[in-house]
Structure 1
């Protein structure tokens, strides 16, 4: 899911995505290639699990409001979409990230563990939306996804931070990354220490380490995806 165009950034007051029933025609038509790709991925990383995740099939933006629809697909199909270069026009990966910031201004990111699908890559706490993120009325609980992933990856709970209003959306090809600022009252050193203690207590932590970004020079173009580099340069400008 790579793009040759420069990411674009948009401030959103509200994001309303809803789950709809349906099959993914592209995945059905390319099932053999998807299964071969999945076999190669799981041979290299047996920890991968082919659960159900959500893919955005349609979106509209009106001012500062984005609405759209998502469908449930298997993770193998999702990863094929990502790795084949988003071959299905109009389909995308929309996910929410906790832009965790310390009291002294550092952004705290995680290095993904070797057992994950993005091993070695550097991200804010985030996850591909799945059925656990869907509310009873069918709406996708993106803020709930932010707080759940933050707690699962770092041990930091909503009671430990101040969550700002609104989203900063970064559009990069078929990706839509929704950033929500999450501020900690702890300094960067204190916050890192707390998260590292949490990681040490986990049997299989999702993160292999942490990365602090205070200035543009701290942005690692080798390990950080383009949309994240774009966001960090924007907020650090």
Structure 2
């Protein structure tokens, strides 16, 4: 099992720099074939540009790392083939929606997405829209993903200052708690109403997690580890 650590930080320093990814260059033909197969199964996925990380360092409440641009097909192959390049990680922001009654709110990804059936907080692999003056803007990415997936905005939440960075090696989930002023059932109904208005929503269902017993196997380990820590501290 991959080791897991949780670091609590207040500042993020994530520089985006040009780089050649040997994995993507050396296995280009295999990657193209793999992506073609994935598109046959999920025709809606497309080969856009994403950002992956390297060289994560945690010191005194601070995270620094560097990011580089690659195509989604290479990222998907790297993920599906068991993360063959161990020096690279998928580092992304997550907005941990927490209702006024303490329930965490998660979405189940729709089948047409590359993570169909998985249940987690609003998030997404960073892309070029998340770059500001050569730096990766994770707070902005969280707000964007929140709006795209749930219809909620930054004005609907009170963001806590710290980031809970759950690092597994292949993934680095930078999780910020977003507090809502309504109970879980009300928040879920509001999000479901927004999904019903969309022609093809990213989420197929909304789940409330009120305790450890509500965790499910389809939730990634970095999500369940964070939630377990949160409930243990109450």
TM-score over 0.5 (shorter chain): yes
Instruction: Name the TM tier (shorter chain).
Output: over 0.9
Mapped pair 1:166 → 2:162: yes
Residues in 2 aligned to 1:22 and 1:217: alpha-carbon distance in whole angstroms: 44
Q: Which of the numbers 213, 220, 227 marks the counterpart of 1:225?
A: 220
Please give the alpha-carbon distance, in whole angstroms, between the structure 2 residues aligned to 1:59 and 1:189.
Answer: 38
Q: Deviation above 4 Å: which 4+ runs of structure 1?
A: none
Cα distance in 1 for partners of 2:11, 2:47 equals 31
On the 8 A contact 2:97/2:105 being kept in 1, the answer is yes
Q: 1:145 aligns with which of 141, 157, 160?
A: 141
Ranges in structure 2 where 5+ consecutive residues have no aligned partner: none
Backbone CA RMSD of aligned residues? 0.9
Counterparts of 1:128 and 1:19, CA distance in 2: 14
Quote the Cα distance in structure 2 between the aligned partners of 1:13 and 1:85.
Answer: 31
Deviations 1:64-98 (A, max 9, x none): 11111101100000111111111112111000000
Instruction: Output the CA distance in 1 between the equivalents of 2:151 and 2:202.
Output: 11
Does the CA contact (< 8 Å) of 2:7 and 2:58 recur in 1?
no
Say if 2:51 and 2:127, in contact at 8 Å, map to a contact too. yes
TM-score, normalised relative to structure 2: 0.97
Per the TM alignment, residue 57 of structure 1 is displaced from its structure 2 partner at its CA by 2.4
CA distance in 1, matches of 2:54, 2:37: 26
SS of residue in 1 equivalent to 2:142? helix
Does the aligned pair in 1 maintain the 2:52–2:67 contact within 8 Å? yes
Which residue is equivalent to 2:105? Answer: 108
| 1:10-63 deviation line (CA, Å, top 9, x unaligned) | 101111111101221111011112111111111101100100000112222222
Instruction: Indicate the residue corresponding to 1:123 in structure 2.
Output: 120
Aligned-residue offset at 1:5: 2.6
Where in structure 2 are the equivalents of 1:1-237 lying within 5 Å?
4-135=1-132, 137-221=133-217, 223-237=218-232
Are the aligned partners of 2:103 and 2:208 in contact in 1 as well (CA < 8 Å)?
A: yes
- Structure 1: state its 5+ residue gaps: none
Name the TM-score, length of structure 1 as normaliser: 0.96
